[in-house]
Structure 1
Amino acid sequence: MDEEFRGRVVTNEELELFCMQLAEYEMHHHCSLYKYFFNDLVYIVETLDSTRILSELNYRNIVDMEYYVSLKKQCGDSVFSVMLIQDIFDLGKEAVIGLWGSLFAIQNDYPHPNLLGVLDEISRLGPLLLDQINLDENGVALPKDLKDIQDVHRQNLLGKTQQLVEHQAPGLSHPQQSFQISDRYLDLIVVSTKQFRTRNQHEVIDTGGVHEHYLQATHIKLERISPNKLFRWCHRSSCLPHSVLVGGVPGVGKTTLMQKFVFDWVRGELYQRFSFVFFFKFRMLNDIKELSLVDLILKEYPYLTTKLETLFSDPANLLFIFDGLDESVQQMDFRSERLCTSPQIQESLSVLVVSLVKQSLLKGCYILITSRPTKLALIETKNFQRVSEIMGFFPKERKLYFDKFFLDEKKSEMAFNYVRENGILYTFCYIPSYCWILCTVLSTCFKPQEMYFELLPKTVTQLFVTFFANILTNHSRDTSQVPALLTSLGWMAEYGVMEHVLGFESCNLKTFGVNYSSQLLSNFMVESGQGPNVTVSFFHLTIQEFLAALVHYLDYSHEKLQESLDKARRFEDGRGEMFLRFLCGLSDSNTRAVLQKHLGNFSPKTSVDVINWLSNTFSMNVRPDRESDDKRKILNMFASLFESRNRALVAHCLGANKKFQFPEFHLAPLDCTVLAFILECCRDPELVDLDTCFIQTEGLERLYTILHNVVELRLTNNDLKDTDMKFIYRILTNPACKIQNLR
């Protein structure tokens, strides 16, 4: 557990002082505090040991413990938590103070970061917190001339943020659509972190594993932050943050979150303490060499010309949002001592941004920056008082996304259940853009009159094969040019994967012979920038990675393929992992058959080379029977074999190995899905050691159908619940069960 979130011994004197502080507030103050902290309180009660909380409340004669224990059994954790918090508020001031006192008393035994953060915010800020809540709700009183220009500014930002545009779904009759963001937006999970580590695994896969782990370990490790409270008191840094960093993998919703953030400010529903919010996207600023902060603002908001000097006189009322640091061509050096001190001085964009963060420019202003984690791992983050990461959708939001996409309860249920039962697909559903791709593909498989079950994907490769096939079926007028177009686009994508390039300039398009006038490209790429400085990028990183793998089947070169295979495997940050999985997935003739009718026959030599490479790499580097081997590398190789669907290849790679040892290595549900496939391909496995692997319910659910084949099974220290015993029962009562030793 993080050091900051360890509990402490609470004395009676401290508890008494805390309750006395709360007793000084009038009931309307308690109403404000309760409204402000309501979601936090519900989350805390839902996450912690409710029996202990009820016991404390019962001790203070606030609630009938027996009644609420029964209520929880009837309604479940979520409904129970809301009802308990609301009921206590309805009982009045003394009951509310009693709840706060109960939570204060248990912090030593349950040092949940959200609990400690809330108590710290109340204790440290005192009456200032009430002022802050009022300011966030009602804003700063402005003179008429500033209020008028603020209205113009709000109207401008409203036009830029109120519509959420959804890509045109290939295979569906309806065109590209836009929706009111308030109707389509779903809450994203944001958690606190100390820093962004350098990763040794592909960031989407890595975060998928962390995300599933967070579902299991949320009650002890990570602080959950509502996006509308990014500038609230930070328990880690013990201050009200002025500079906030939000990370998130590609497609997880960083830009959409910022759009919703600005939209809510415009409508008066969020952070009215900021009189003006300035919203910038780094990718739209890549043509800028040097300019002043005044120029930067007026370039985007020219109507503020006569008011900037007045606005700058009170920086605490200003918020700057910069979205997509990873898309900036400029290097942001937050260690640099070269700083700007005046809004009129011309500097590079990087110096302006760093100066705002370090508060040498417009001291007292607020700044919010988003980026991919891989970029943030390379920069100094100590100048940010809050560092957080978007984890994407939780299960409830995943289901809601499917419901909103299909607008048909039966189809939505069918599609979601299919994905839920295919663990490899479900794991990636934490990313909104993956949900869109999945829903797009499944909507073409679950048509009213006919069900195309043969097209239903079981692997990520099959998902993208079907996605591309839908695009080529519905958006290619001159099919003769498609193979050449995708070949040129594929080589550019491959160059980007190998060289870590996400944005492509006109010179890149020219070098690889990409015909950007083709209408087909709009299904894969988006533009940014203006005039001669326009750059293009794939609308999702995984689209780029898939095309990078596909091109080796369209335009075979033994030398290029071997070079790319070896290079991708050597990347220490794991960025070649999805590329390798797609290469292996496309080696399956059944998987790629869906695309061949559009692109012609693929090179069989590519499949042979990929299979040989996979076999040789496995035999030289993988020994799952040895505890000392790098388990992450082993699981990555297993994942590539899973994508290949080649059971004979798996059996060949495993050879005489019949032992699988992963003790004290965290296995995400994604890993369990892959491991289940590998075990299916192994004849008579002797040992599966999952001791202290933290597999929990979901991991066991993905593994149990194959574990009866094992002679010795180790499942100790996996935090299995009583309800998980049904899986153990099914394993042991399977007529073909071979288990002789279970522990």
Structure 2
Amino acid sequence: MRSDSHEVLNMFRSNLMMKFECLYEGQANQGNPKLLNEIYTELYITESESGEISNEHEVRQIETQSRRAATEDTPIKCSDIFRALPGQDKPIRTVLTKGVAGIGKTVSVQKFILDWAEGKENQDVQLIFPLPFRELNLMKHETLSLSDLLHVFFPETKEMEISSDKYKVLFIFDGLDECRLSLDFQSDVRLCDVSESASVDVLLKNLIVGNLLPSALIWITSRPAAADLVPSECVHRVTEVRGFSDPQKKEYFRKRISDQSLANRIISHLKSSKSLFIMCHIPVFCWISAAVLEKMLSQAESGEIPKTLTQMYTHFLMAQINIKNTKYKKDTDKEMIFKLGKLAYVQLERGNLIFYEEDLRECGIDVTEASVYSGLCTQIFREEFVLFQVKVFCFVHLTVQEHLAALYVHISCTNHNINVFEPIKKQSLWSKVKDWFLLNSSEHVSLSELHQRAVDEALQSKNGYLDIFLRFLLGLSVESHQILLQRLMKETRSSSDRNQKTVEYIKRKIRTIDSPEKSINLFHCLNELGDHSLVEEIQQYLNSGTVNKAKLSSSQWSAVAFALLTSEKQLDMFDINEFVVGNNVKVLQKLLPVIKESRSVR
């Protein structure tokens, strides 16, 4: 080691501080930089029992977790994730942090690194190496040693002897769910020397299991669906980012919006809609809500203040198009949104949240114009420059992707007379959209049939990946959205009769499906369509406490579960006897989501 090792370490720390001190809203390379320390709001993080995966849609997981913020879960500060809690004596080498998309995993990593670089926390660690999977993906065909890999990402390490125990080192692998490397933990290839070359996936596997640098700390973040890619025996602690607690939501808006009176009005509006306030557990949704409501509540604007998920996202989309139109005069709204929607839909089907150049080309987006698309709607579509200046694209959140995907399906039907769920037409859509448009068929594709097909597709999906997409698709057909979207629509169609058919179809499905979780999502769909009749029917029984005496139908019991889950009251104690007389298995099954989310059950 050279004599100027102290200077090298200081330069390394300084470089990380410069890289992580700002948070960019919207586009990473030309967004609005804000000092992380000024706007950072502490997230609610708990120690979790295991890294088990969940097959529910992530928004449903948030809706479920929203009632568990004050349970017996063990809260843990982000800066303490490698410290043993009272009563724990085993050293913690590898931590897996899971959390749904947009919940704050990456920002937590950023804050951890910044606090370390500024000398505030975890000063027993000498070096932190952040290696996001979206950047490691670009090196999946490379063969090199761990030392070489670090030299590529961190040129200063050429001056250091990482192989020795001289330094306490932390590796941070952010975004396991975005990994496109073939991590094979059954492989017999064993590496113990940091100068020994292998493929990047073999390097990572040996680092995580402890063959390479066994004294190094490892921190991996992941969405829940990918949490089991690393075997549990390799993980010493599992933590879960739960996003913002209710007090933290309010703190976020008061920090984000300087006019405290306006901030309080925004908080009050969001609290008036249970489904929106629950979504505020996700920091990205708080940002979207702030962007929409700050403008709408501070100006005398016409139009309804958003009360549903679809309304919020449609207002957000149109606001970004308006921003674009102040910068660029060329009217490309329809074409641009259609292409972005197509990308969103195709990648949603494949389960991808990040996209590379070939993915854009497939959907008719000229790669040379991609940065222009990104610049037009900086908050909708983000372009990130990573290693070697290769471009990686993503929407700012899974729900933004789902909303655009739903808009694409809706416009395909209303503008181009295409039902994307029909296999033949779906195949034609990718290559012959303009041919279909030129045909000008007088025979309309029925939007109610499209909706019914979408309902069936969502009910058949095992992991619920179409649940929120379905809410958006149905919500877009409501008349208030036709007015908002008129500049993107070729024509508008009368919605009342069509939507009534969809409402009746959903009610039939609620009566017949076995899954209580699926029926809860269908009630959210009815909300988006503006139909509250089933819940209103049973509300009188709930208010009078006579539910257990009423002879309710199957769908009415589902309505009871939905009403309890979306009520203002916290379910501290759920007394089954107040609802069920005797051991009625069918009724208990309908109430299972409530039983799961209650803090205790009598």
TM-score, scaled relative to structure 1: 0.65
- 2:520 aligned partner: 635
CA gap of 1:673–1:338, structure 2 versus 1, over 3 A, is farther
Q: Work out whether 1:474 is the aligned partner of 2:362.
A: no
Q: Aligned ranges for residues 108-187 of structure 1 at < 5 Å?
A: 145-167=4-26, 176-187=31-42
Aligned with 1:541 (options 398, 404, 410) = 398
1:660 matches 2:562? no
State how 1:65-464 maps to structure 2 within 5 Å: 145-167=4-26, 176-210=31-65, 212-216=66-70, 218=71, 220=72, 222-233=73-84, 238-288=89-139, 289-290=141-142, 291-307=144-160, 309=161, 311-314=162-165, 317-447=168-298, 450-452=299-301, 454-464=303-313
For the residues of structure 1 that align with 2:194 and 2:93, how far apart are their CA atoms? 18
Please name the residue that 1:555 is paired with.
Answer: 412
Return the alpha-carbon distance in structure 1 between the equivalents of residues 519 and 459 of structure 2.
13
Aligned residues: 527
Alignment of 1:570-649 (within 5 A): 570-596=460-486, 598-601=487-490, 604=493, 612=501, 615-616=504-505, 618-619=507-508, 621-623=509-511, 629-646=514-531
- Taking structure 1 as reference, are residues 607 and 511 closer, same or farther at Cα in structure 2, changes over 3 Å only? farther
SS at match of 1:246: strand
Which structure 2 segments of 5+ residues have no match?
Answer: 424-452, 538-551, 570-586
Instruction: Give yes or no for contact 2:459–2:518 (8 Å, CA) kept in 1.
Output: no
Measured against aligned partners, the alpha-carbon deviations of 1:59-103 in whole angstroms (never above 9, x if no partner) come to xxxxxxxxxxxxxxxxxxxxxxxxxxxxxxxxxxxxxxxxxxxxx
1:643 shift after superposition:
1.1
Q: Residue 420 of structure 2: SS of its match in structure 1?
A: helix
Return the match for 1:526 from 382, 399, 411. 382
- CA drift of 1:347 comes to 2.1
* 1:505 and 2:401 correspond: no
Is the CA contact (8 Å cut-off) linking 1:455 and 1:466 kept in structure 2?
Answer: no
CA distance in 1, matches of 2:8, 2:79: 25
CA distance in 2, matches of 1:203, 1:659: 25
The alpha carbon displacement at 1:192 in A equals 1.5
Q: Post-superposition shift, 1:148?
A: 1.8
Rounded Cα–Cα distance in structure 1 between residues aligned with 2:533 and 2:250? 36
> How has the CA–CA distance of structure 1 residues 281 and 668 changed in structure 2, closer, same or farther, with 3 Å as cutoff?
farther
CA contact (8 A) 1:441 1:467 kept: yes
Query: Counterparts of 2:62 and 2:491 in 1: how far apart (Å)?
Result: 33
Q: Deviations over 1:306-339 (max 9, x none)?
A: 31x2x32117611111111112211333444433
Compute the displacement of 1:629 (Å).
3.5
Distance 1:695 1:508, change over 3 A: closer
CA displacement, residues 188-224 of structure 1 (integer Å, 9 cap, x when unaligned): 11112233333232112212321x22224x2x3x111
Aligned to 1:178, the other structure's residue is in SS state: strand
- Which residue identity lines up with residue 520 of structure 1 in the other structure? L
The answer for unaligned runs of 5 or more in structure 1 is 1-141, 170-174, 675-688, 700-715, 720-743
* CA distance in structure 2 between the aligned counterparts of 1:603 and 1:554, rounded to whole angstroms: 10
**CA 1:613/1:454 → structure 2, altered by over 3 Å: closer, same or farther?**
closer
Partner Cα distance (2:87, 2:63) in 1: 25
Q: Tell me which moved more, 368-377 or 347-356.
A: 347-356
Q: Shift of residue 252 of structure 1?
A: 0.9
RMSD: 3.5
Deviation track 1:85-131 (CA, whole Å, cap 9, x = no partner) reads: xxxxxxxxxxxxxxxxxxxxxxxxxxxxxxxxxxxxxxxxxxxxxxx
Letter in 2 for 1:552: V
Q: Distance in 2 between matches of 1:461 and 1:562?
A: 25
Alpha-carbon distance, 1:382 to partner = 2.5
Deviates more, 1:329-338 or 1:386-395: 329-338
C-alpha change, 1:635 and 1:692, in structure 2 (3 Å) is closer
1:342 positional shift: 1.6
AA aligned opposite 1:155: S
Instruction: Indicate if the aligned counterparts of 2:20 and 2:110 stay in contact, CA closer than 8 A.
Output: yes
Inter-partner Cα distance in structure 2 for 1:235 and 1:577: 41
Could you tell me how far apart the structure 2 residues matched to 1:570 and 1:315 are?
A: 55
In structure 1, how many angstroms separate the alpha carbons of the residues matched to 2:183 and 2:272?
43
1:432-479 deviations in whole A, cap 9, x for unaligned? 1100000110011112xx433733111000000110111112213346
Per-residue deviation, 1:386: 0.4
Say if 1:204 and 1:250, in contact at 8 Å, map to a contact too.
Answer: no
- Change over 3 Å in CA distance of 1:284–1:190 after alignment to 2: same
How far apart are 1:177 and its partner, in Å? Answer: 2.7
Q: Is the 8 A contact 1:427 1:670 kept in 2?
A: no
Find the counterpart in structure 1 of residue 441 from structure 2. Answer: none
C-alpha separation in 2, matches of 1:435 and 1:669: 24
Q: Call closer, same or farther: CA 1:472–1:527 in 2, change over 3 Å.
A: closer
Residue 474 to residue 522, structure 1, CA distance change in 2 (3 Å)? closer
SS in 1 for 2:102: coil
Which deviations, in whole Å up to 9, do the C-alpha atoms of 1:666-709 show, x marking residues without a partner?
869754489xxxxxxxxxxxxxx89987979x99xxxxxxxxxx
For the 8 Å contact 1:692–1:718, the answer to whether it is kept is no
2:499 touches 2:529 (CA, 8 Å); kept in 1?
Answer: no
TM-score, length of structure 2 as denominator length:
0.79
Assess if the C-alpha contact under 8 Å between 2:27 and 2:382 holds in 1. no
Aligned pairs for 1:729-740 within 5 A:
none
SS of the aligned residue for 2:219 comes to: strand
Cα 1:236/1:243, change in 2 over 3 Å:
farther
Q: Sequence identity of aligned pairs in percent? A: 28
Q: CA deviation at 1:287?
A: 1.4
Compute the displacement of 1:613 (Å). 5.5
The one of the two structures with greater contact order (alpha-carbon pairs below 8 A, sep at least 6) is 2
> Match of 1:274, SS?
coil
Larger Rg: 1
Would you say the 8 A contact 1:190–1:391 is kept in 2? yes
Distance 1:650 1:480 in 2: 44
* CA drift at 1:161: 1.0
**Aligned in 2, Cα 1:235/1:583: closer, same or farther, shift over 3 Å?**
farther
Conservation of the 8 A alpha-carbon contact between 2:93 and 2:218: yes
Distance 1:379-1:318 versus aligned 2 partners, 3 A rule: closer
Deviation at 1:617, TM superposition (A): 5.1
**Quick one: distance in 1 between partners of 2:68 and 2:554?**
32
Contact preservation (8 Å) 1:324, 1:369:
yes
3-state SS of 2:13 partner: helix
